[in-house]
Each structure stands twice: as structure tokens, then as C-alpha cells.
Structure 1
Amino acid sequence: MTGQVEGKVALVTGGASGIGAAVAELLAQEGASVVISDVDELKGPELAAALGRAGHDAIFLHQDVTSETRWADVAAEIEQRFGRLDILVSNAGIGILVPSIVEMSLDDWRRQTAVNLDGVFLSVKYCLPLMRKRGGGSVIMMSSLAGLRGSATLAGYSATKGGVRLFAKAIAMECAAAGDGIRVNSVHPGIIDTPIWRKDSMGAPSGQNAPVDPEELARLATPLGRAGHARDVANGVLYLASDASSYVTGTELVIDGGMFAGTAPRRP
């Protein structure tokens, strides 16, 4: 099946690399006009240009998702250029890993909360009016497996991603009550092989943690015995963005190789 989001306009925050880039690429391939927003002024324009060369409609907008002023500008630019917004993928996020919560600085706690929660709140605040003008749409908030269960070294991250999960449900109920045709769901990736793992672990400050091999970690931790790929998550986002999920709202899509379901010791 092709053209699953043909004629729609999508905004993907944190869309310059990793899961966000895979989402932007797949939505464009399936017919959407894609707005890629990110703080990365190198990879973002490169991706938009590559999609354009492939015959897709894509633009890049520099954006710090914690800035309310910039959110107002981004919403205005989308309305001026496209006149509508059908799909919002609130993907931008950071993860800070610490050996113990007592070693986490308040500055890092607040920085992570600003990106992972404030950024999602602002995305909804400024994008829902655009969607309501055209009579509907799909909001997809990127949470995490860490938003469904606790992790000993990711307490702060889990707090933000758990917040995203319930925020999605609350906004889904608000939109349903308003009868505005907007569906809202959250996506919960597990161990996904993206460039962030090759940096200091989960985006922690330089020198604080060694890089992690996602394949080795997934081999030990997931029932399927392997890491997922960004395209696996993008496929889930495409489903939620398309009309194929027209009766799906207020729920979570878990893409984790079976980790949340339980354990499955593999035979030799």
C-alpha cells in the first residue's frame, strides 16, 4: 500500500536524525508534505534537501521546542505555507542517564523536563488550533518503554516519558469531548539502534557514561533478541498518522521487541 498519508501535512519535531528522520522520510514517501523541525542546522536541511531531490515536499525549520515564541512562529509558518496541519509527531526529546537520582543535578532535571514535557505541551498548544481549523488530524507523542515501567538509572527520563503517556490520553479525551476529529496516541519504543547510543549513553554529559552497544543490550534484554530500527518505529507512526487508525485514540503503541510483555528465555 502506498500513499497512506497522501495530501496531508505533517510536522515532525526532532526530525533531523534517528527516529525523527525515519518518520519524516516515511511520511514523505507516503505522500505527506513534511515539516522537519530540529535544533540541528546541519542534518535537518540535508534531510529536507534529500527528500526534495527524491521528489517529495519537505522543508526544514530550525526550532528549539522549549521556546514558546518559536512555537508561535513555526505554527504561523506552517499555516502560511500549507494552510493546514494534519499530523503532529512530537518526537523531540533527550535522555539523561545517571547512576543514581541523587547524582542528577537540578539543571539536568529541568533541561530534560523542558524538552520532553514542555516541548510536547507547547506542540499541542500551538498545533491543535491548526488541526481544528481543517476539522481533524492525528497527534502522535513519542514516549518510551521507560514511560511504561521504571528504570534504575533513568528515573528522570521515566518521569518525563510517563508524563507524555498520560498527557496523550488526557488530550485524546479533550479532543474527543470537543468532537474536533483529532486523535491522540503515544508511541513507546524499546531498544532502537539509533546514533544516540554511539554518543555518551542516552545523551548524558560528556565523559559521564561510556557509549552503549544497542545490539548487545537488546540481545540480552529483549525476547526477540535484537535491537529495533528507526524504521520499525516509523512504521508504527505511519499507522497512527493514517486513516487506517481512524478508530484509535488515547492508547499507546509499544514497539519494543516484547520487553514490556515479559521474558522469553531462548533455547540454545
Structure 2
Amino acid sequence: MSLLEGKVAFVSGGGSGIGRAIAETYAKEGAKVAIADINEAHGMETVKAITDSGGEAFFMAGDSSKAEDNKRFVDETVAKYGRLDIACNNAGIGGPALPTGEYPIEGWDKVIALNLSGVFYACRYQLEQMEKNGGGNIVNIASIHGTVAAPNSPAYTASKHGVVGLTKNIAAEYGQKNIRCNAVGPGYIETPLLTANLDKDALTYISSKASMNRLGTPQEVADLVTFLSSDKSSFTTGSYFIADGGYTAV
């Protein structure tokens, strides 16, 4: 039997990179998948990949930094599939690259709005629905920079530390309501966002900082997220799992 057979799952930022890999893996493991992304073309590509492989999915365009869109994502998922069992809050951005004393206010506000407030908004409405279901499971995508600094990215570091703290709070509050919540902290993963913004030398340098001496793949993150989303991790909540090839080990 597949790990997520009969489940309904939601993935934000599911149009590319890690989010797409998570959505496709959820579907392969038997879940019906609701995909949200601000880029409609990318989101529909993910849906097509899933349906072409025999899975079931649909797409919702929207901005994960807005409370009203997060509420709509939950409402439309329930309208389509009748419930919400699993949510992976993955949408996020890196923001400007400047030290804290020079960081633009508008850049800070934009990063915090999506990476932290957006995750709170998502959880706020997902939890409301999961209580109606009698249980559920949330996985928030943080970063290795939820535990170590990312110099010249203060908003990103602060937002991802916040996601880890929010995750722990939810786990403490909802454990007796049959709702689990964990966070995953990817290291540097070979996604279009990363490779489009860094040259070959920069990618080589980042790879060398991990003890495994390589970038991770979206599928490696998706496999961890899927495990945490399944009953195979039924006694695990409030935890923060790093997938970084040893980047933070030294």
C-alpha cells in the first residue's frame, strides 16, 4: 500500500523546484494533491506531470503571502476533495543580498510577508480545517538558515528561524488534537532558483561546504517530507529535520 493512500495533500510553491518534487512524490504515494503557486504556468506543468503519471491533482493560482489567498487555498481544496489531511508550506523567497545595516526596508517586509507571515496564515487556516477532520499533518519548509546564519540575508535568516519556532508552537498546542507539525531545513539544493542566480564557481564553493561535497536534489528533500507526512512518522512532532549533506555538521 502507498504511504499516502486516500489522503488529500496541499503544497504551496508547488510549481517548481522542491515544491514540485514534493507534490509529485505525494501523488506517487497515493495522495490527491492541491497545488498553489503564484506562477500559473509552472503550477499547471506540475499538475500535468502528476496526471500524466496517473495521479490526481489540481492547481490554484495565488499569493501565499496574503491571508485571504491562504484561506481560499484551504476552502478550494476542501470543496474539490472534501477534506485536508496533509499540508506542506513550501513557498518562499531569498530576498536582497545586503548586510543588516544596509538592508532595504521593503526587502525585509517582502521576505517576512511570504516566508514567515505566509506560513502562519497557511497554518492558521489549515489547522482550523484539520480540527474539523479530527486530525492532520503539517510540514513547514524552513532552511538550514533556520539554525545558522546566512550572512547578507538577515530577513531570510530571521524568517526561517521564525518558521522553526512557529512549528514547535503548533506541535505543542495541537498534539492532543491528533495534528502533527514538523519542519524541514534543506541545505543548498540544485533548483532552477539556485542555478539561475549563481555562477559555476559559486555553486562549486557552496557544494564544497557540505561534507558530501555536492548540492542536494529536490527529490531528496521530497522523500524526507513525504516520510514526515506519512504514518511512518506517527510519533514525530515539533521536530526540525535538516537535509544539507553535512553543511551544518561542522
Normalization by structure 2: what TM-score?
0.96
Q: Which AA in structure 1 matches 2:209?
A: A
Q: How does 1:208-219 map to 2 (within 5 A)?
A: 211=199, 215-219=203-207
Aligned residue number for residue 248 of structure 1: 236
Task: Report the Cα distance in structure 2 between the residues aligned to 1:88 and 1:182, rounded to whole angstroms.
Answer: 11
The answer to whether the 8 A contact 1:140-1:237 is kept is yes
Task: Give RMSD over aligned pairs.
Answer: 1.4
CA distance in 1, matches of 2:202, 2:33: 29
Cα drift, residue 200 of structure 1: 3.2
Q: Which amino acid aligns with 1:35?
A: A
SS of corresponding position for 2:177: coil
- Contact 2:24 2:49 (C-alpha < 8 Å) held by counterparts: no
For residues 224 and 103 of structure 1, do their structure 2 counterparts lie closer, same or farther at Cα, with a shift above 3 Å needed? same
Report if aligned partners of 1:214, 1:227 keep a CA contact under 8 Å in 2. Answer: no
In structure 2, do the counterparts of structure 1 residues 46 and 151 end up closer, same or farther at CA, with 3 Å as the change threshold?
closer
Aligned to 1:220: 208
Query: For 1:192, what is the secondary structure of its paired residue?
Result: coil
Equivalences, count? 250
- 1-structure distance, mates of 2:75, 2:224: 28
Aligned position for 1:204: none
Query: 2:249 matched to which residue of 1?
Result: 261
Aligned residue in 2 for 1:230:
218
Find out whether 1:106 has 2:105 as its counterpart.
Answer: yes
Q: CA deviation at 1:59?
A: 0.5
The Cα shift of 1:232 comes to 0.5
Q: Give the residue type in structure 1 aligned to 2:151.
A: A
In the alignment, what sits opposite 2:130? 131
Shift, 1:189, TM fit: 0.5
Q: Could you say which structure has the higher helix fraction?
A: 2
Output the amino acid matched with 1:67: K
Query: Aligned AA for 2:146?
Result: G
Give the Å deviation of 1:99: 3.5
Counterpart secondary structure, 1:172: helix
Residues 1:9 and 1:213: Cα distance change in structure 2 (over 3 Å): farther
Matched, 1:199 2:187: no
Amino acid at match of 2:38: V
Give the aligned partner of residue 56 of structure 2: 57
Which residue identity does 1:198 align to in structure 2? T
Aligned to 1:95: 94
Name the larger-Rg structure. 1
SS at match of 2:183: strand
Deviation at 1:154, TM superposition (A): 1.8
In the TM superposition, what whole-angstrom CA distance separates every residue of 1:87-135 from its partner, at most 9, and x where no partner exists? 1100000002424222321000000000001110110111112111111
Aligned to 1:189: 186
Residue type of the partner of 1:247? F
Matched, 1:117 2:116: yes
**Equivalence for 2:142:** 143
**Distance in 2 of aligned mates of 1:192 and 1:253:** 15
Question: Quick check: 1:222–1:257 contact (8 Å CA) kept in 2?
Answer: yes
User: Runs (4+) of structure 1 moved beyond 2 Å?
Assistant: 198-201, 211-215
Cα distance in 2 for residues equivalent to 1:62 and 1:244:
31
Q: Which runs of 5+ in 1 are unaligned?
A: 202-210, 263-268
Deviation of residue 213 (structure 1)? 5.7
Cα distance, 1:77 vs. partner? 1.0
Instruction: Tell me the distance in 2 between the aligned counterparts of 1:144 and 1:213.
Output: 22
Q: d(CA) in 1 for partners of 2:200 and 2:179? A: 38
Structure-2 residue corresponding to 1:17: 16
